Structure 1
């Protein structure tokens, strides 16, 4: 008989010393939301179940439609997992702090950062999170990144046409989050919201980082 995913998850968490708060932080959710999932009061999407089990070290498993877990060749015995390794944490900066990136030897003071979020993403340079403010990246269809979303930026990645980037205009102290458009040698910043016009940026803008991950916290 297959094991329910939440019972397996709680067993792995106990073995590895991972509490609900740690798991909630990794998922970008509240502890209460994770508690509802683990105690079967609400059922998460299959993709969320897989993300939780991968975070807890599971590498070979299948998630069935009824929320039970199976593994290739032996669906009744799922005991193969790797030791839990904490993910890297990066600071959540304000738009002003992000805008000041690289303008000083110490772009931000660690003691002033209240919120750090985890990620499993491969970082090529330095990284930080930025909370989306406003509706310029909210689209009526397709990719949409609404206000309140946390976006992870990698300063070591090369921005290309179509990259979502955080940039600082020379006439502003704050960073702005937009899509980079390169057309015939001219560069623009464009919101995903079609009501926002493209801003030409040749010579008056510095690209700080490229967006590689988003995270939404409900509370």
Structure 2
């Protein structure tokens, strides 16, 4: 059994200290298990099998590895529901918060830790689709979770409303000395120079999308 225990320790990158914590056994007892001095008693077998991710039968009898669980784990809990807005609604989000939420017809559940003023927005077009291997990409149809309470700093993906426009746009904020730009992730599109008249509505904190 010690060979099987060592095999699983190596496979899972665990240490004896992990076995001590999971089973409640003493350091000396765990050392005996690992080195082949003694085998775990029934008192410890269930907890030992759990931490090693195998069945008790495999641990005691050997054979082909019988993992007790797959390679997936429960995801984080849903933290809140946020309204799904149109680009026009996002540009006027401050006004909506003050009493026009009746206009919201769809809400999105998110695991993101965001402020009560957060909302979601659907990406349209391919200006935020970056080339393969270039890092973050926001493909057409994906959803971003936006938090207006986060400070917009250079390098963040933001939702912005240009002066004179009623619609908002999703772009990467780039500050280069005195110059500021809204930068598409798709190199086929040109950066948009902006000044202080541009309103940053919020910072994108999470990307939600369906797999093809």
Question: How large is the RMSD of aligned CA atoms in angstroms?
Answer: 2.8
Please name the residue that 2:51 is paired with.
72
TM-score normalised by L of structure 2: 0.61
Q: Which has the higher contact order (CA 8 A, sep 6+)?
A: 1
Q: Displacement, 1:124?
A: 3.9
Please name the residue that 2:154 is paired with.
161
Please name the residue that 1:65 is paired with.
none
Q: Displacement, 1:181?
A: 0.3
| Residue 128 in structure 1 maps to residue 119 in structure 2 | yes
User: Given that residues 143 and 208 in structure 2 are in contact (C-alpha distance below 8 angstroms), is that contact kept between their aligned partners in structure 1?
Assistant: yes
Equivalent pairs, count: 147
Please name the residue that 2:37 is paired with.
none
TM-score normalised by L of structure 1: 0.59
Which structure has the highest strand share of the two? 1
Encode CA deviations 1:169-211: one digit per residue, 9 max, x unaligned: 1111001000000001321101101111111111220111111
Within 5 Å, give how 1:5-24 maps onto structure 2: none
Larger radius of gyration: 2
User: Given that residues 119 and 145 in structure 2 are in contact (C-alpha distance below 8 angstroms), is that contact kept between their aligned partners in structure 1?
Assistant: yes
Please name the residue that 2:107 is paired with.
116
| Residue 190 in structure 1 maps to residue 183 in structure 2 | yes
Which structure has the highest helix share of the two? 2
User: Given that residues 118 and 147 in structure 2 are in contact (C-alpha distance below 8 angstroms), is that contact kept between their aligned partners in structure 1?
Assistant: yes
Distance 1:72 1:170, change over 3 A: same
Q: Displacement, 1:114?
A: 2.2
Gaps of 5+ in 1: 1-59, 61-69
Please name the residue that 1:211 is paired with.
204
Gaps of 5+ in 2: 1-21, 23-48, 56-67
